[in-house]
Amino acid sequence: MQAAYVLGIDVGGTAVKMAVFTEDAEMKQKWSIPTNKTNNGESILDDISASFHEMVEREGYTKDQFIGAGVGVPGFIDMEEGVIEFAVNIGWRNYPITALLSEKLGVPVRVDNDANLAAAGEFWKGAGSDVEDLILFTLGTGVGGGLIVKGDIIHGVGGMGGEIGHVTVIPEGGAPCNCGKTGCLETVSSATGMVRLAHEAAKEFPTSKLTKHYQDTGEMTTKEIFAFSADGDEAARKVVDISMYYLGLSAANIANVLNPAKIVIGGGVSAAGDDLLKPLTHYYNKYALEKVKSDSTFVLAELGNDAGVAGAAWLAKQYVTK
């Protein structure tokens, strides 16, 4: 029997990541191309296709070894119709991506939201590969995420399922969020939110090490915030405490509703590792139901930037081969 492969594609604002996987989740090739956003991204699919065909030839594959491709895109998507309703960072609007890309690649294509596919990637071959129910929090510039329930992505009726960054955690007087609301989880538990909190803490603790470091270097990143906090600095500790308090409360409330086996923490902020997990689980344990707590484990994401292509390949395996 001929080996069967799936292609995973993760379209980002600066690069399109691509990878070839076996159906058993083994990654065979990985590469990326720049995202050409000229004219609302009209050449992106041609670039993807050319790069795929060139790789097939170069690596000695034959095209009929590929059973399908999955593609992740940041934006509002009609998964069933395969249409990007709006991808603000790419420029696509009402864009029938699966029909177009499937013709160019010569294989069936399925599309989903990039945040959902990161969760699917961790579920297929990462931190959640031993469970069927997980929540992924991706802590980066914003707070993204995805929900896997009974081994499949939760989309909801309009594709908005898993918008866990926009759970309201500060109902009154919270900071404005990019979504138009205020007090969303993203405003306090993203890298951007933590840096904002650090600037507030700097006013409250003008002589703290974190504040002085910022005054001296002009630098304030979550890496520094966690490091100064671990070192006992009161300004940094307050920022970490606030940020993890709201993340723990939100995680507990989502878990009280979904009863997951794992809660996976990914994104750049998760590099803090135990310095993040310790306060996070403290607050989670305070607000989760007893059995929900004992059913769930916190783990760090394992795939890093590969989560998106892995999830996209899983999507192809899951949906286009049926």
The residues binding a second copy (CB under 8 A) are: 76, 131-133, 147, 149, 154-164, 166-168, 171, 179-181, 249, 252-254, 256-261, 287, 289-292, 294-296
Half-sphere exposure (Cβ direction) of 243: Cα atoms closer than 13 Å? 36
Q: Of the two residues 110 and 213, which places its CB atom closer to a second copy in the complex?
A: 110
Q: Quick one: CA torsion of 128, 130, 133, 134, rounded to 10 degrees?
A: -20
Least Å distance, CB 100 to a second copy, is 24
Least Å distance, CB 177 to a second copy, is 10
- The token duo for 217 is 């270097």
Q: Of the two residues 162 and 267, which places its CB atom closer to a second copy in the complex?
A: 162
Least Å distance, CB 241 to a second copy, is 13
What angle is formed at CA 294 by the lines to CA 292 and CA 296, rounded to 5 degrees? 70
Residue 106's closest CA among 318, 322, 320? 320
Least Å distance, CB 219 to a second copy, is 32
Residue 305's closest CA among 29, 21, 74, 30? 30
- C-alpha–C-alpha distance, residues 322 and 311, integer Å: 17
Q: Of the two residues 68 and 260, which places its CB atom closer to a second copy in the complex?
A: 260
**With left for phi above 0 and alpha for psi between -120 and 50, is residue 218 left, alpha or beta?**
left
Least Å distance, CB 279 to a second copy, is 15
Strands (E) across the chain are located at 5-11, 15-22, 27-34, 66-73, 76-78, 83-87, 92-95, 109-113, 134-139, 143-149, 152-153, 262-266, 297-300
Q: Of the two residues 77 and 220, which places its CB atom closer to a second copy in the complex?
A: 77
Q: Of the two residues 61 and 76, which places its CB atom closer to a second copy in the complex?
A: 76
Interhelix angle 222-230/209-217, rounded to 10 degrees, is 140
Q: Of the two residues 8 and 267, which places its CB atom closer to a second copy in the complex?
A: 267
Least Å distance, CB 276 to a second copy, is 20
Q: Of the two residues 28 and 291, which places its CB atom closer to a second copy in the complex?
A: 291
Least Å distance, CB 77 to a second copy, is 12
